[in-house]
Structure 1
Amino acid sequence: MATHNELGRRGEAIAKAHLEAAGYEILDENWTFGKAEVDLIDYKDQTIIFTEVKTRTGTGFGQPEDFVDNRKQKLLAQAADEYIYLMNHQGDARFDIIAILFTPQNTYTLKHIEDAFWPSPQ
C-alpha cells in the first residue's frame, strides 16, 4: 500500500479520536456517494457534521486544509444532500475540516475548522 494511503488512514484515526473526545458521535466513516467520499460523518448538538480530514507531512504546497478545493466541496455537498435525505435529518448540517500536519519527528498538530465552508449551489 502506498505511504500516502497509510498517512491518510492514520490521520483519519487521529481525527476520529479527537471528535469522540470532544463529544461527537461518529455516524459513518468513509461514506461514499457517486464520486465523493466523506471521511467522517458525525453528530453533535442536533447537527450532522460532514468532516473532511486532510493529513500532510509538510506545507511546501500549502496547508492541509488548502486541499479542500471548490470541486471537492461540491462533491461533498452532493454526498451530504444524499445522506441527509437517506437519514431524513431535519436538523442543521455543516462541513468541517480537520487538518493534521506531521513533523519529521513524527509528532503532529491538529486543527479542527468548524463550519469551514458551505458549497455554492450548482
Structure 2
Amino acid sequence: MAWHNELGKYGEEKVNRYLLDMGYTVLERNWKIGHKELDFVCLDGEMLVVVEVKTRENDKVSLFELLDFKKKRNLQLAGAAYLTQKNIHREIRFDLVLVSGAEMRIEYIKEVIDLF
C-alpha cells in the first residue's frame, strides 16, 4: 500500500476513536455512491453529521486547500444521496477533521460547508 494511503487509514482510525470518545454514534464509514465517498456518517445527538477526514504530515495546511469547491459540492451531493437512499428526513451537518503534523494532532471544525 502506498504511504499516503497508509497515512490516510491511520488518520481515519484516529478520527474514529475521537468521534466515539466525543459521544458520536458512527453509522457508516467510507460510504460510497459512484465516485463520491463520505468518510464518516454519524449521529451527534439527533443531528446527522457527515465528517470529512484529511490527514497530512505537514501541519501548515490551509482549510481552503483541503476543501475546494469541487470537494465541497461532492460532499453535498453524496450527503443528499445518502439521505435519499436511506430514506432519512432530517438536517445534515458537514464537519471536517484535520489530522496533521508529526504528532498527528486532531483539529475538528464543525459546519465546514457554511464557512465558505
TM-score under structure 1 length normalisation: 0.86
C-alpha separation in 2, matches of 1:5 and 1:64 = 20
- The number of residue pairs the alignment matches comes to 116
C-alpha separation in 1, matches of 2:56 and 2:63 = 6
Letter in 2 for 1:11: G
Question: In 2, are the aligned partners of 1:64 and 1:100 still within 8 Å (CA)?
Answer: no
Determine the structure 2 residue equivalent to 1:14: 14
Question: In 2, are the aligned partners of 1:26 and 1:43 still within 8 Å (CA)?
Answer: yes
Determine the structure 2 residue equivalent to 1:109: 105
Determine the structure 2 residue equivalent to 1:47: 47
C-alpha separation in 2, matches of 1:115 and 1:21 = 19
Determine the structure 2 residue equivalent to 1:93: 92
- 1:89 is displaced (CA, Å) by 1.7
TM-score under structure 2 length normalisation: 0.90
Q: How does 1:37-76 map to 2 (within 5 A)?
A: 37-59=37-59, 62-63=61-62, 66-76=65-75
C-alpha separation in 2, matches of 1:65 and 1:17 = 26
C-alpha separation in 2, matches of 1:114 and 1:42 = 13
C-alpha separation in 1, matches of 2:69 and 2:63 = 15
C-alpha separation in 2, matches of 1:26 and 1:58 = 27
- 1:31-85 deviation line (CA, Å, top 9, x unaligned): 111221111111122111111000000146x336731111011111111001111
Determine the structure 2 residue equivalent to 1:30: 30
Dislocated runs of 4+, deviation >2 Å:
62-66
Structure 2, unaligned stretches of length 5 or more?
none
Structure 1, unaligned stretches of length 5 or more?
none
1:84 matched to 2:80? The reply is no
Higher helix share: 2
Alignment RMSD:
1.9
